[in-house]
Amino acid sequence: MQLQQLYYFREVAEQGSINKAAGTLMVTQPNLSRSIQKLEEELGLKLLVRSNKGIQLTEEGRQLYQHACGALERLEIIKRMSGEEVPRMLSVSAFPTLVSTQLLRELYEWYRDKSIQFTFREGRLSEIIEDVYQLRSEIGVIHINPIQQSRVRSLLESQQLEFHLVDTDVWHAYLGPGNPFYEQESVSMAELLMKYTVLRYPDDYFSILTSHTMINGKSLREQAKRAMLFDNEGAIINLLRTTDAVMFGMRWNREFYRELGIACKPILDYRMEVIMGWIKRKKELLSLEGEQFVTMLRRNYTYQEE
């Protein structure tokens, strides 16, 4: 296998067309097709499905694309290392509500006078694990509940990743002034699920596991009859502030939400325990930037009673 083949394959995958990729790469379409075909033969894998509408990646093609992108990006960095200062890098993947504005502000202040490239990705639990496994992120920040724990730890072990505990908590309810529970000290899970729309992030395999947890003889999925799914925290915040909708989460970001007029309430009739921490690849030392991020994470997310 030659590096040129990976460059060609990446371009074809991104363009979705052999002809378009050939134009960008300034090679002939037959030569590009032969290069991809040879790559498939060498790997013994079917990478592309060709049709009149263009090309689509097979599952093996999708995996190769992810690996190729990471490898080629790092090759470009290595090429730039000779004779010039290469900026330090830190890449982090996290569940949307697990890296607060306060932590990012602190990180910014720490590195504002330094040469560093910081990449932050938001995703579901399965996506975060995949990011760290595929080298897209040095650190992943995740939370796990007991229903997910066995499957998550098994997946982490199979991917040669390790988990480091930061803190534990239980589910709380977040709601705005439009919800009748806003002024109360605590809330009832059964009443919230019965009367109000639940705002949450799209499902992945692990959140689907959680949805089967039982509350008073019925699953969470059965009881949460009204739900709206978003992959954007800003949309969820706006709806919490302006409607009677509710979101379930942990206390770690309560101060940020409080500043926005959103209250964090303990739940009386239901207890979902959660552990939060960070993951990395086994046998790999964290970069100096990664160590600093973990220090800030622990400082910002160890819960203190008010």
pLDDT over threshold 90, residue 289: no
Q: What is the pLDDT of residues 95-147, one digit of tens each?
A: 877 777 778 888 888 877 777 788 889 888 999 999 999 888 999 999 998 88
Q: What is the residue-wise DSSP string for 214-244?
A: EETTEEHHHH--SEEE-S-HHHHHHHHHHSS
pLDDT over threshold 90, residue 279: yes
* Look-up of token digits 């296998």: 1
Q: How far apart are CA 141 and CA 274, in angstroms?
A: 13
Q: Which of 116, 155, 151, 154 is nearest to 133 (CA)?
A: 155
Give the pLDDT of residue 48.
84
Q: How far apart are CA 15 and CA 4, in angstroms?
A: 17
Residues in the chain: 306
Average per-residue pLDDT in the chain?
A: 84
Which segment, 86-95, 220-229, 236-245, 266-275, is predicted with the most confidence on average?
Answer: 236-245
Give the pLDDT of residue 100.
74
How far is the CA of 245 from the CAs of 176, 180, 235, 272, in angstroms? 8, 10, 12, 20
pLDDT over threshold 90, residue 179: yes
Nearest-5° Cα angle at 259, 254 to 265: 35
Average pLDDT over residues 272-295: 90
- Least confident range from 120-129, 182-191, 203-212, 276-285: namely 203-212
- Of residues 101 and 57, the one with the higher pLDDT is 57
Instruction: Give me the amino acid identity at 198.
Output: V
Domains and CATH numbers, the chain: 3-80 (1.10.10.10), 88-167+275-301 (3.40.190.10), 172-271 (3.40.190.10)
pLDDT range class, residue 77, cuts 50, 70, 90: low
Residue 234, token pair as written in the block: 């800003």
Give the pLDDT of residue 212.
61
